[in-house]
Structures are given as structure tokens and as C-alpha cells.
Amino acid sequence: MAFGLGFGTFVLIVALLLVASFRVLREYERGVVFMLGRFWRVKGPGLILLIPVVQQMVRVDLRTVVMDVAPQDVITRDNVSVKVNAVVYFRVVDPAKSVIQVEKFLEATSQLAQTTLRAILGKHELDELLSERERLNLDIQRVLDAQSDAWGIKVSNVEIKHVDLNESMVRAIARQAEAERERRAKIIHAEGELQASEKLLQAAQMLAREPQAMQLRYLQTLGNIAGDKSSTIVFPVPMDMLASLGMARPPGPPSPRDAAE
């Protein structure tokens, strides 16, 4: 009886060990296997068999991790204090390094992203931080990727989400933008005046070279005035224009030269 009980217990232990020996890893998982504490190999996906007690396995997820970096206080190169947060996209490309080279790669990557964000953005001015986000995203991504490569991690993308300014800085930026718009409006107005004066000068030079063009201009002006509702129109006409049109000089007292003749 005691023999039968002991044999049954042995069979139960063996069955439990066999069940514990099997592992199933999904397509996006890998198993870092250690044998007696030493790294052996990376296995998976699918069904794998482990030697109980002798071998241990650590699961590693290979999917892209979306990490939200907490808002960081950043002082820009022009001494402006802002709060910046970002999103980091990364994944494990070497499961063995992610387990052996760093204790907790998720926490380590998060801390590295925070310090890198402050270090990179602190080298730039506020205007660059607001207008050149794509370039800053690439700079942060390259630095993170280079430093996390030893952990078997690939940083694929970094995106700056928000740049929060205090109220006084927001008002200062609004005043600066308004002054910039006024400056551009004045420049555009001055350029228009310059172009108009150049065209007027060209027209005056052309009219001076062609007397007939001046006469046509006077006639056009008369036509414009005729459309007015005014009952009396006084319009000066140069005498040389009348002479060119073949009109006699209006009657009047003779000139001293005519009287002498």
C-alpha cells in the first residue's frame, strides 16, 4: 500500500514537471533561456521545451512600445522656461541584450528619454522649439537610438507633443507677432508706393516724348469729367495744345510785339 502511494506521488511529480517544461510563445514573443544561470539561447515563437530546474526562461515582447514621456521643465538657450512632453516609439530588436544588459529596459528607456529631451531642447532657442519640431524630433531620436543600442532597443520615432508657456511669455509672443505683421504691412505698402512711383515716372517720360499722347490724355480726362453731374466745369488747356490742334488764339489785346509790328 505504501509502495503504491509512493509510486503514485512520483508519477504525479513527473507529470507536473513535464507540464511545467512546456512553454508556448506567441508570434511577437521570444524566450531568453538561461541554463544554470548562464545565457543559453533565444527561443520562440511556438512550443518550446525546458528542462525543469536546470533551465529558466524570460519572456520578451517584440512589439513596438508607445511611451509617453512626462512633461519636463526645459530652459532654452535664450533663458525661457517651458514644459515639454513627448512620445517615444521603440521596440526590442535583441531580446538577449534587453534582459542581460539592463535590469528593466522600459524604465531605463523612459529615464533616458526624459534626460535626452531636456539636454537636446536646452541647446535651442524658443523660436526653434516652436517652428522646427521635425528637426528636433530627429535629433532626439538619433541620440536615444545611439544610447539604447547597447540594450538591444531600436528607437524608431520621437514626437514632441506639447510646448507649454506661461502667460507672460504667451503675451510677449503675441506682441512680437503683431509687431512682425505691422512691419510686413509697412514694407508691402512701401514697395507698392515705390512701384507706383516708378510707373508714374515712366508714364511721364513717355508723355513728354509724345505730345499727341498728352493730348489724348487731356481728352480722356475731359470725357471723365463730362460724366460728372456738375453744371460748371473749368478745365485748363495749354495753349500749345490748341496750337497743335490748329485752333486760333482766342481774341484779346495785342501783345507788345504785335503792336510794334
Q: List pLDDT tens digits, range 129-139.
A: 888 899 999 99
Choose the final residue of a domain: 114, 141, 165. Answer: 165
Residues 30 and 75 both lie in one domain = no
Q: Could you tell me the CATH number of the domain that includes residue 103?
A: 3.30.479.30
Residue closest to 108 by CA, chosen among 77, 78, 153: 153
Which pTM value belongs to this model? 0.64
Q: What is the rounded CA–CA span in Å between residue 54 and residue 154?
A: 32
Report the 10 Å Cβ neighbour count for 257.
7
| pLDDT of 259 over the 50 cut | no
The range of the structural domain enclosing residue 108 comes to 65-165
The last residue of a domain, from among 114, 142, 165:
165
- Count of the separate structural domains present in the chain: 2
For residue 260, the model assigns a pLDDT of: 44
Q: Indicate if the pLDDT at residue 124 is higher than 80.
A: yes
CB 122 within 8 Å of CB 143: no
Flag whether 193 is in a domain: no
Strand partners, 11: none
Residues 132 and 176: their CA atoms lie apart, in Å, by 18
Same domain, 112 and 154: yes
Residue 153's pLDDT band, with cuts at 50, 70 and 90, is: very high
H or E segment and range at residue 223: helix 211-226
In this prediction, residue 225 carries a pLDDT of 65
* Cβ contacts of 100 within 8 Å, gap of 6 or more: 32, 39
For residues 132 and 151, state if they share a domain.
Answer: yes
Is residue 14 helix, strand or coil?
helix
In the structure grid, which three cell numbers stand for residue 237, read together? 488747356
CA distance 215 to 131: 58
Q: How far is CA 204 from CA 154, 209, 219, in A?
A: 71, 9, 16
Helix (H) or strand (E) holding 43: strand 38-43
133 located within any domain: yes
Domain contains 158: yes
- Residue 9 has a CB neighbour count (10 Å cut-off) of 10
Residue 24 in domain:
yes
C-alpha cell at 38: 548562464
Residue 252 has pLDDT above 80, yes or no: no
pLDDT band, residue 248 (cuts 50/70/90): very low
State pLDDT tens for residues 214-242.
666 666 666 666 665 655 656 565 666 55
DSSP 150: G
Count each helix (H run) and each strand (E run) in the chain, helices first. Answer: 9, 8
Whether 70 maps to a domain, the answer reads: yes
For residues 129 and 75, membership in a common domain is answered with: yes
pLDDT top residue among 235 and 211: 211
Residues 42 and 108 in one domain: no
Domain limit, last residue, from 106, 139, 165: 165
Mapped onto helix, strand or coil, the DSSP state of residue 32 is strand
The mean pLDDT of the chain is: 81
Q: Which three cell numbers stand for residue 20?
A: 511545467
Are 57 and 82 part of one and the same domain? Answer: no
* Cβ-contact 76, 126 below 8 angstroms: yes
Strand partners, 83: 73, 164
How far CA 90 is from CA of 61, 148, 186, in Å, comes to 12, 10, 49
